[in-house]
Amino acid sequence: MDRVAFYDTKPYDKIWFDRLCGDYGIDIKYIEGRLCEDTAALANGCRAAVIFVNDKLDAKTAKALERNGVGCVALRCAGYNNVDLSGAAGLKLYRVPAYSPAAVAEHAMALLLTLNRKTHKAYNRTKEHNFSLKGLCGFDLNGKTAGVVGTGKVGQAFVRICRGFGMRVIAYDPYPSRIPGVEYMPLYDVCRQSDIISLHCPLTSDTHHMLDGRAFSMMRRGVYIINTSRGALIDSEELLDAIKDGKVGGAGLDVYEEEIDFFYEDVSDEVIDDDTLEMLLSQPNVLVTSHQAFLTKEALRAIAEDTLYNLRCFFDGTPSENEIKPGANAKA
């Protein structure tokens, strides 16, 4: 069997990889730590490595993997902003481009509905026998304008959900798709016209901090911001200022630009050394989840199947449509 090193392992990762790896002739060495230059040596004896969103594949790490006999890195996610493509040019790289667009889109809507109708607050109240409705008033989504930034598979799934709620949908994407009933326009026009803005695009040098102070200044007062893509799409300090000012009426964040030290881990007994994150968590109109939008049974199975397929293609020397190549555009 071909052996692979599997970094940043969590219990839910093993469920489908353990069930399916034998079918693909692959033996997995699970590693709890994240991939970096210092942990690359743990892949010794493996021909490939499997990584996730917070693993780091820069030039030094890539060279360290190669020295230990690794020729391939398979990402078990869609985005690859944590990969230095030029620095890792000596490795075959693969990703999972569409494990479950519905999972991420549904979580984005869950964040919006929870923020708007305040069901999380109602749950906590009624558990303590407080049945007051004070402070729980929301607004109808029907008839509101949703601005969808990025209309790849996840963005299109979110569009369908919004239209099911009777919302008008406008969109920004430098690579527009033909979606009936959706009007494309420049990003700042989306900012000006939207009641809700939901981000569904990859993190690149062009999209880094695409929602910054200027973008927030153009938005309608009380706009809701939803982000289930990558944290650094938003300038977190500018978002916090916009929330304090009342420009942003609510923010649902499944990602955060400095999440690597916190997300996926239990740090409940530690002091969080990130004032911006602490301030965001303290706001009554901010809902933060820990990068869990992908976490459904269906998505976990699809991730395992596609990752193992990519690895098998590498070992057999056959092409995979999921190979990452420099200059390629990753649509979320």
- Residues labelled as active-site residues: 230, 259, 291
Nearest to 230 by CA among 204, 249, 251, 250: 204
Spatial distance between the Cα atoms of 83 and 9, rounded to a whole number of angstroms: 18
State the DSSP H helix or E strand holding residue 114, giving kind and residue range, or none if neither.
Answer: helix 101-117
**Residues in the chain, overall count:** 332
Cα 53 to the chain's mean position, in Å? 8
| Beta carbons of 122 and 93 less than 8 angstroms apart | no
Residues 6+ positions from 132 with CB-CB distance below 8 Å: 125
- Cα angle value 46/48/53 (rounded, 5°): 125
Residue 144: DSSP 8-state:
P
Is residue 211 helix, strand or coil? strand
Residue 57: DSSP 8-state:
B
Spatial distance between the Cα atoms of 225 and 248, rounded to a whole number of angstroms: 7
Q: In whole angstroms, how large is the CA radius of gyration of the chain? A: 21
